[in-house]
Structure 1
Amino acid sequence: MLLAIREKVQGWIAWAIVGVLIVPFALWGIDQYATGDRIVVVAEVNDERISATEFMQVYNTQRVRLRQQFGDMYDQVVDDEVLREQVLDSLITSSLIRQWAVNNRVVISDAQLAAVIQGADVFYEDGVFSQRLYQDLLARNGFTPATFERDQRNFLLETQFQNLLASSTPVFPFEKQALLDLQTQTRHVDYVRVDHRVFNKEAEITDEQIAQYYAANEDDYLQLERVSLAYVTLSLAEIAKDIEVTDRQVADFFELNQRLFAVPEQRRASHILLTDRGDETLAKLAELQQRLAEGEDFAELAQTYSEDPGSARQGGDLDFFEAGMMVEAFDQAVFDLAVGDVSEPVQTEFGFHIIKLTDIKPMQLPSLDEIRDEVVQQVRLEQAERVYFELLEQMTQIAFEQPDSLDPIVEQLNLPVATTRMVTRDGGREQVTSRRTVMEAAFSDDVLQQRLNSVPIEVGPNQTVVVRIAEHQPARLQALEEVRADIERQLVREYSISRSAERAASLLAQIQDGVAVETLIGEGIEWHPVGWIERENQQILPQITAAAFSAAKPTSAQPTWNSVQLVTGDTVLVRVNELGRSEQADNAALRNQLALILQETYQTAEVEALMASLRLTAKIDKKSNYLTLR
């Protein structure tokens, strides 16, 4: 198990909470929550109902967040059905936790909620809580005090649920040491590579083999339904190219919008990060502050003690960054410091930071001459925007009123027609066919069966297309003769890979009988001396590294061997000669980081085990309507 604990595991609770919390609001009072009698239900968990309203609130919040994260790639990256499934599962999980809490008499009291509320400053003006600001921000984000209180209470309950289980999952020193030993172990290796391609010429593939393979794998040769699309594109960027602007327009725009072109102030900081382990961390922070006050070098302390592996090796250096790029508390601390100052400990979701400001790049305001081309482009885009939306309105009207052809749009708006390659329902790599909305329209009844124009579809910022079918190919099974060459190549490859594995097994048998490796090298058999490697290395392929570290430990008199088949088809025999330790074995920061990962992994496993048990014994009824709610 320790070999598998390599990367920090993120629990499901954090994902579930982000769907219902937009900003870390705080409450002033405690409100009652009530729902009407008529509720559309998307799921029932032990007779507790999950409403469509609750589902859509979390779903829409999550969708907005993902659109902001992926931008134009959203349609390619996010599967809406999978997203809906994840959202509903997160709500079911929350419901199970609440029921577990009731059964085990775990509650979040009004006093606890109020304590958390009083710790937040988002609703404070001039150091005083503002009821007006509180209500205004809640309303602007789609919350009532009652619904927000419910969500905040649930968040605290789920956090307490996790913390209760975390307290029951101790990590013993020998486990921490074992993981550190595994992580920092090095191995001295060499390997033999048996190239499968040398056996290609031996393969003799018959017509009978080809026919049998075709019959056994017909599904692989089903050609899916495909279409080619004709389309016209209305683009603000293209419109802007033809806009003429005067020097006066450029000068006026620059005068009014200088700060749009300013290079913001940037600050360079270093930090020492300690994850929150209670009193132990507070004691270490106090020690580090004392040592810094006595003049010890910040960079050296960061290299030794910081638990941020990305910056610790650089003495805690985070390079230059602008305001707003870091989490709020960290960002605020950095921009309150003077160069050379060291902050008091700053707490964030990652732990405690001691921050040193090392440099400042002031905001720069370029002259008009320096950025004239950029300003001209902005003026063109501003003027083109009005034209774009006027033409978009015309395009929409023409596509609707004359849906049998793109010609009216071409003639009236002077737009060229383009044609895509043949693509399936999954789309293609071109900008138009890579958009899920376009492909859904292309295979809709109106466009595919009725052969009408689509409605205008946005494929990028201020870029809209109307598509229609140019060519349609129904699904069909490709004939044997069409795929004969592909099948023959596949059979040759399978034969060669099999022969490569056989040759490697024969070589290993000879080596274990005492034959020197060097005497076995020949056509297609390569000998690669490597030397010492760590688990994370750039010297050899990851598959070979994995084989090296999964091989048995060598003895002083006898190396061990392991074999692996690469994705290329070649077979590799890996020899492990000796074990060692990397320089990181004595790194305190790495030791602390691995201990934290081990603790969080155990905690996550504990939570997931209990959740699996709760789900197993619960009566969960998912309604199908959650897939179609809008």
Structure 2
Amino acid sequence: MLQSMRDNLKGTAAIIVAAFFGFIMVIGGIDFFSGASGGSADEVAEVNGVKISNLDLQRAIQNRRNMIMNQYGENVPQDLLSDEKLRGPVLQQLISSSVMRQAAKDSGMVMSAAEVDREIVQIPGFQVNEKFDPQMYRDALRRMGYSPASFREVMERDLVLQQYADGVTESAFTTRADAEQLVAISMEERDFDYAVLPVADLLEQVSVSDDEVETYYGEHQGDFQRPEQVAIEYIELKPELFASNIDVSEQDVRAQYEQEVANFAASERRHAAHILIEGDDEAKVAEVQQKLDAGEDFAELAKTYSDDVVSSEEGGDVGFTGGDVFPEAFENALASLEVGQVSGPVTTDAGTHFIKLLEVKGDEPPAFEERKMAITAQLQNAEAEREFVGALSRLADLAYNAETLAGPAEELGVPVESTPLFSREGGPGVAANDKVVAAAFAPEVMLDGNTSNVLDLSNDHSVVLRVTEHKPAGVYPLEEVREQIVDSIKRDKASAQLAERADSLQEQLQAGADFAELAESEGLTLETSDKTRRGGFGQRGEIIEQAFEMPAPASGSAVKTFATSGGDRVVLALRDARPGELSRQSPEQRRALMQQLASASGSAELAAVQEYLSSRADVEIAETDSQ
């Protein structure tokens, strides 16, 4: 269900509607439609006698593939998208989903029609200005291929599954002792002082010989491994490359505008409301007709009498139609009304309707000046799209066996782009795309010097490339890393000198020297850090990490020295360590912590329930050629 929503609900609405089902995706393993496809002889698994068809599996795989593509965009690693990679995990998720649904059914869980309707009208993707919009709802279902009844059926099944999961997760709890233990560790505070002996002050005083550099280089070959690299030139085709060179005459713009005006009347949309009386309840029909004849408010009558649960709360509002949304009899009656007028009883398969025309839109076309810029851009984009398609059809032939891409680029009127060297991990710009990397490192392109096939990076973005430089994997030449080696040796030598000084300071502190006086005599800055908690970045983070690795001092101070990643030396004196106390947290913090722990416990218990149900289920997985 979610995949068809993604295909048909565009833009923000699609994201919001998909997000509504996020919880069920977690508990049910992304499956919304297992069992909805009917009995298929081509089954891939059977769970307690309930079949999972190959169609179920393929739809779930495609759904997972789209989720991955949404996460990575054009740079999605291709190996993540293969059926071979996805089949196993997705099938296990379908099995887990089936087991959970069966458990919910066995528990007697049901969802009332009223509750399903309440959930539907609260889905943000069906709302406009935070209010349920019947027209958006009906249009969305039509695009997804659902009738209101079939959509409600799917919603009911998934909500029951969510109800079952909620019964597990929301019954979880945590104890105060658990919270106190967590706070004692996570909110522990430490008091310490430290002084940094900077390595930079000694670097200029340290000399490094050529022999030392060569020895270091020989002993650390593993640090200077160069991956295989290529540089490429490429032609990139996008419609926007052609749009800027396209001129559109005002005559063409005006002709397009006149066409819009001519078609405008056909796009007239009518805003309708109705009161639906299901079945053959002639007495109810007569009662509504009588109240309408007496001038009673249509919206209030809809709330009282209409059997259309979704629209009744909106005064019967069912949104706009261009003449093709509602049954023919309904549309014919609506077309005959004036704004504000109410029809007599109209019969369709759904029942008897009283129809009111609320408004008509589209009866006045916009002025030419209002549409001029938009039409100009529209014509430019259309022509650019045609030029893009034409260039794309010629690109492969022009680039085939070309010594360089300069000629094909000139023929097509586009530039030749290039990249610096990059590895199989990718590089900047277009080299970040997984398809480009795979093509560049293909032997026929990288080693044989051939031009790649045309790579379709998206519907309107294509690339063809050639390798212009290839560097095999190996060790970087000494001259390329000499500067790096010299700096590393200097830091090692300077840090070793600092270590002797730091050890001396440590001995003096352990003998009872005052840290502040000692730092001042050594020309160091003493830093004091009280009530410090875990975490931090850079050198400060390294120092805090070292402070929390030390045993808490029984009395006095505990002293240690260590080197930072940059080569500086640190002398640190830990004065005190205090475990965190739950009682020191505010009531809001305590409540939030207990809720977080209970939520984590609930998630763990739900996973345990899933594992238990799956272990007891009779699961048969069909053999396939790939297994």
Q: TM-score range with shorter-chain normalisation?
A: 0.5 to 0.7
1:95 maps onto 2:95 in alignment: yes
Alpha-carbon deviations, 1:400-457, whole Å to 9, x = none?
223122345323322222222122222211x221222222222335533554433444
Selected match of 1:194 from 185, 192, 197: 197
CA distance in 1, matches of 2:257, 2:547: 62
The structural deviation recorded for 1:398 is: 2.0
Q: Secondary structure at the match of 2:556?
A: coil
The structural deviation recorded for 1:514 is: 0.9
Give 2:168's aligned residue: 164
Which letter maps to 1:226? Q
Structural mapping, 1:391-402, within 5 Å: 391-402=387-398
Any conservation in 1 of the 2:29–2:97 contact (CA below 8 Å)? no
- Identity rate of aligned residues, in percent? 20
Which letter maps to 1:396? L
1:390 maps onto 2:386 in alignment: yes
Selected match of 1:61 from 59, 63, 86: 63
The structural deviation recorded for 1:140 is: 1.5
Any conservation in 2 of the 1:543–1:566 contact (CA below 8 Å)? yes
Which letter maps to 2:586? N
Distance 1:504 1:171, change over 3 A: farther
Selected match of 2:568 from 567, 570, 578: 570
Selected match of 1:404 from 398, 401, 406: 401
CA distance in 2, matches of 1:466, 1:65: 28
The structural deviation recorded for 1:561 is: 5.1
Any conservation in 2 of the 1:240–1:383 contact (CA below 8 Å)? no
Stretches of structure 1 that go unaligned for 5 or more consecutive residues are 1-10, 23-29, 257-331, 333-371
Give 1:20's aligned residue: 31
Give 2:472's aligned residue: 474
Give 2:40's aligned residue: 36
Alpha-carbon deviations, 1:449-487, whole Å to 9, x = none?
554433444568955433222233333444566655544
Alpha-carbon deviations, 1:144-176, whole Å to 9, x = none?
999997897578557735743764x54222333
Which letter maps to 1:426? E
Give 1:345's aligned residue: none
Any conservation in 2 of the 1:189–1:529 contact (CA below 8 Å)? yes
Distance 1:57 1:450, change over 3 A: farther
Any conservation in 2 of the 1:563–1:574 contact (CA below 8 Å)? yes
Distance 1:578 1:447, change over 3 A: same
Query: Which deviates the most, 234-243 or 415-424?
Result: 234-243
Alpha-carbon deviations, 1:272-327, whole Å to 9, x = none?
xxxxxxxxxxxxxxxxxxxxxxxxxxxxxxxxxxxxxxxxxxxxxxxxxxxxxxxx
Give 1:515's aligned residue: 513
The structural deviation recorded for 1:75 is: 0.8
The structural deviation recorded for 1:605 is: 4.3
Give 2:365's aligned residue: none
1:417 maps onto 2:416 in alignment: yes
Give 2:355's aligned residue: none
Which letter maps to 2:469? E
The structural deviation recorded for 1:31 is: 7.9
Alpha-carbon deviations, 1:33-72, whole Å to 9, x = none?
5443335x5x99999997664444334334434544565x
Which letter maps to 1:404? N
TM-score normalised by structure 2 residue count = 0.58
Any conservation in 1 of the 2:195–2:571 contact (CA below 8 Å)? yes
Structural mapping, 1:170-249, within 5 Å: 170-180=173-183, 187-197=190-200, 207=211, 210-211=214-215, 214=218, 217-218=221-222, 220-244=223-247
Distance 1:112 1:579, change over 3 A: same
Distance 1:438 1:197, change over 3 A: same
Any conservation in 1 of the 2:61–2:87 contact (CA below 8 Å)? yes
Alpha-carbon deviations, 1:329-385, whole Å to 9, x = none?
xxx9xxxxxxxxxxxxxxxxxxxxxxxxxxxxxxxxxxxxxxx9x999866643332
Give 2:595's aligned residue: 596
Any conservation in 2 of the 1:399–1:454 contact (CA below 8 Å)? no
In our comparison, the structure showing a higher alpha carbon Rg is 2
Q: Secondary structure at the match of 1:120?
A: helix
Distance 1:89 1:149, change over 3 A: farther
CA distance in 1, matches of 2:87, 2:118: 29
Which letter maps to 2:80? D
Which letter maps to 1:512? Q
Distance 1:226 1:563, change over 3 A: same
Structural mapping, 1:322-471, within 5 Å: 381-402=377-398, 403-405=400-402, 406-429=405-428, 431-445=429-443, 447-449=445-447, 451-457=449-455, 462-471=460-469
TM-score normalised by structure 1 residue count = 0.58
Give 1:314's aligned residue: none
Distance 1:620 1:225, change over 3 A: farther
CA distance in 1, matches of 2:209, 2:48: 60
CA distance in 1, matches of 2:55, 2:48: 19
Distance 1:595 1:409, change over 3 A: same
Alpha-carbon deviations, 1:514-568, whole Å to 9, x = none?
122234437795422345545678998333344445655567x634556665443
Any conservation in 2 of the 1:396–1:455 contact (CA below 8 Å)? no
Aligned length: 486
C-alpha root-mean-square deviation of aligned residues, in Å?
5.9
CA distance in 2, matches of 1:407, 1:92: 51
Structural mapping, 1:547-586, within 5 Å: 547-548=546-547, 552-553=551-552, 558-560=556-558, 566-577=564-575, 585-586=584-585
Which letter maps to 1:137? L
Give 1:291's aligned residue: none
